[in-house]
Amino acid sequence: MNFNGKTVIVTGGSRGIGRAIALDFAKAGANVVVNYNRSADKAEEVVKEVEALGTKGLAVQCDVSKQDDVDKLLKEAVDTFGTVDFLINNAGVTKDTLILRMKEDDWDRVLDTNLKGTFMTTKVIGKYMLKKRQGRIVNITSVVGIMGNAGQSNYAASKAGVIGFTKSVAKEFASRGITVNAVAPGFIASDMTDVLSDEVKEAYAKAIPLGKMGEPEDVANAVKFLCSDMSKYITGQVVQVDGGMLM
């Protein structure tokens, strides 16, 4: 795949799956805007890695749930690279606990970043893409948004919300040639899953037909496909990257 001269914005691009997406797009020749909220050092590291691959990178601090921040993100991206072709809504947080123990703040913070953040960036950057009559949006959701998970009612609700949002916006933007799809990772080795015990990880792996956890690159490959010309007739879909965990 060749993304020479294209620009991608990856929200939450400093770590885990977001970092893998940022680097994979850089390998394909794209300039990469690495959005982060608090991990400034890690975002700058990713920018350095991007530039070592021969393209340009830019780290931009922004809380995706705040419109003013997102306006700034788009402006910095366009001022620096002259265009935005792909938006990858990857920024996500977890605050896991059983619902009886879940505080209102645990709910709000997860919904704000994961769902409201996706709304905000899609509204602001989608408007820019509509004017250009060109663009691809890929939202990172989760199989948990489809199957549920004890201890993650806030996270699962946010990810299910992202799926409904993806399909609705796909319908709204289709007439302008802008595709909107979602990628639903299953059990992927990342910061988010590193906190789990080995026992839990093994139990999960047993439930996966392909027999192991996925890598962030597996998710990045699906995202790249959904931004390429190979997927120009695909919109409003949820692609599961889960080793067959949920069928």
Residue 130 Cβ, how far from other proteins at the closest point, in Å? 7
Residue 185 Cβ, how far from other proteins at the closest point, in Å? 31
Which helix (H) or strand (E) segment is 8 a member of? strand 7-10
Q: Which is nearer to other proteins, 133 or 232 (CB)?
A: 133
Q: Which is nearer to other proteins, 68 or 172 (CB)?
A: 172
Hey, which residues between 89 and 128 contact other proteins (CB under 8 A)? 127
Residue 155 has which token pair?
């996270």
Is residue 81 within 8 A of residue 56, CB to CB? The reply is yes
> Where are the strands (E) in 11-95, listed by range?
31-36, 57-61, 86-89
Residue 133 Cβ, how far from other proteins at the closest point, in Å? 10
Which one of 6-14, 17-25, 170-178, 217-225 is the stretch in contact with other proteins (CB under 8 A)? 170-178
> Do the strands 31-36 and 57-61 form a parallel or antiparallel pair, or are they unpaired?
parallel
Beta bridge partner(s), residue 7: 31
Which helix (H) or strand (E) segment is 122 a member of? helix 117-132
* Chain centroid to CA 24: 13
Asked if residue 176 binds other proteins (CB under 8 A), the reply is yes
Is residue 183 within 8 A of residue 140, CB to CB? The reply is yes
Q: Which is nearer to other proteins, 4 or 175 (CB)?
A: 175
Tell me, yes or no, if 204 is annotated catalytic: no
Asked if residue 172 binds other proteins (CB under 8 A), the reply is yes
User: What are the residue numbers of the active site?
Assistant: 155
Binding residues (CB under 8 A) for other proteins: these are 127, 130-131, 172, 175-176
